[in-house]
C-alpha cells in the first residue's frame, strides 16, 4: 500500500470516529454545550475530509495539534467561569498564544478568546432563561469581568441586552434559532 493510501486510510478512520462521536452526542439531550461539542466534531470532520481527500496533503509540520485543541476546549468548557483568557490558557498548556490561536483558527475558525466568549455567552443565555438571578450575578457567574462587558458582548451576539432577551424569551422559552 502506498504512503498516500495509508494516510487516506488513517484519515478515513478518523472521519468514522468523528461521525461516531457526533452520533453519540446527538443521542444525548441537546444543550448549548453539546451543540458546541457537535460543531467541534463537525469541524474536525470537515478538516479531515478537506485535508486528505480534496486538497494536497498538508506537511506534518503544519498539521494541527488536535489533542492540544481538545484538551484546551475541555478546560474552557469546565472552567469558563474562572478568570481565564487566551494568555493564561497558553501558559497553562505551555504553548504560545499565537500557536494556540492558530490551532483554534485552523480547526474551528475562531480564536481561543472568541471560543471562550461564546461558551460564556451560551451559559449566560441558559441562566437568563432558567433562573431569576440578577444580570450582575449571571455576568460574574459566567466569567465576565464586568456587567458592562457582559452587556456589550451579549448585545453583539443576540442583538438584545440580557434584560431585553430575558423579557422576550424567559417566560415561555421560545425557540431561539440564533443560538449558535
Residue ranges of domains in the chain:
1-61, 118-169
Cell of residue 139, nine digits: 455576568
The interaxial angle of helices 3-27 and 32-49, nearest 10 deg, is 160
CATH of domain 118-169: 1.10.10.60
What was the pLDDT predicted at 98? Answer: 95
What was the pLDDT predicted at 148? Answer: 97
What was the pLDDT predicted at 36? Answer: 84
Cell of residue 129, nine digits: 432563561
What was the pLDDT predicted at 114? Answer: 96
- If one counts every other C-beta atom within 10 angstroms of the C-beta of residue 3, the result is 8
Question: What residues in the chain have per-residue pLDDT under 70?
Answer: 1-5, 54-64, 172-180
Global pTM reads: 0.62
What is the Cα–Cα distance from 126 to 167, expressed in whole angstroms?
A: 14
What was the pLDDT predicted at 172? Answer: 58
Instruction: Measure CA 128 to chain center.
Output: 20
What was the pLDDT predicted at 143? Answer: 96
What is the Cα–Cα distance from 160 to 152, expressed in whole angstroms?
A: 9
The interaxial angle of helices 66-79 and 112-130, nearest 10 deg, is 30
Report in angstroms the alpha-carbon separations of 96 from 15, 88, 89, 91, 172. 29, 10, 9, 7, 45
Amino acid at each position: 500500500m502506498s504512503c498516500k493510501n495509508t494516510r487516506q486510510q488513517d484519515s478515513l478512520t478518523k472521519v468514522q470516529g468523528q461521525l461516531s462521536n457526533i452520533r453519540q452526542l446527538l443521542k444525548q439531550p441537546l444543550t448549548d454545550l453539546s451543540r458546541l461539542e457537535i460543531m467541534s466534531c463537525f469541524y474536525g470532520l470537515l478538516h479531515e475530509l478537506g485535508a486528505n481527500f480534496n486538497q494536497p496533503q498538508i506537511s506534518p509540520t503544519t498539521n494541527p495539534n488536535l489533542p492540544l485543541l481538545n484538551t484546551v476546549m475541555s478546560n474552557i468548557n469546565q472552567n469558563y467561569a474562572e478568570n481565564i483568557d487566551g494568555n493564561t490558557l497558553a501558559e497553562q498548556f505551555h504553548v504560545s498564544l499565537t500557536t494556540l490561536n492558530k490551532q483554534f483558527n485552523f480547526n474551528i475558525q475562531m480564536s481561543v478568546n472568541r471560543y471562550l466568549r461564546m461558551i460564556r455567552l451560551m451559559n449566560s443565555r441558559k441562566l437568563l432563561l432558567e433562573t431569576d438571578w440578577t444580570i450582575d450575578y449571571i455576568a460574574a457567574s459566567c466569567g465576565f469581568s464586568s456587567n458592562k462587558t457582559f452587556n456589550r458582548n451579549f448585545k453583539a451576539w443576540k442583538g438584545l441586552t440580557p434584560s431585553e432577551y430575558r423579557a422576550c424569551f424567559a417566560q415561555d422559552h421560545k425557540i431561539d434559532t440564533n443560538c449558535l
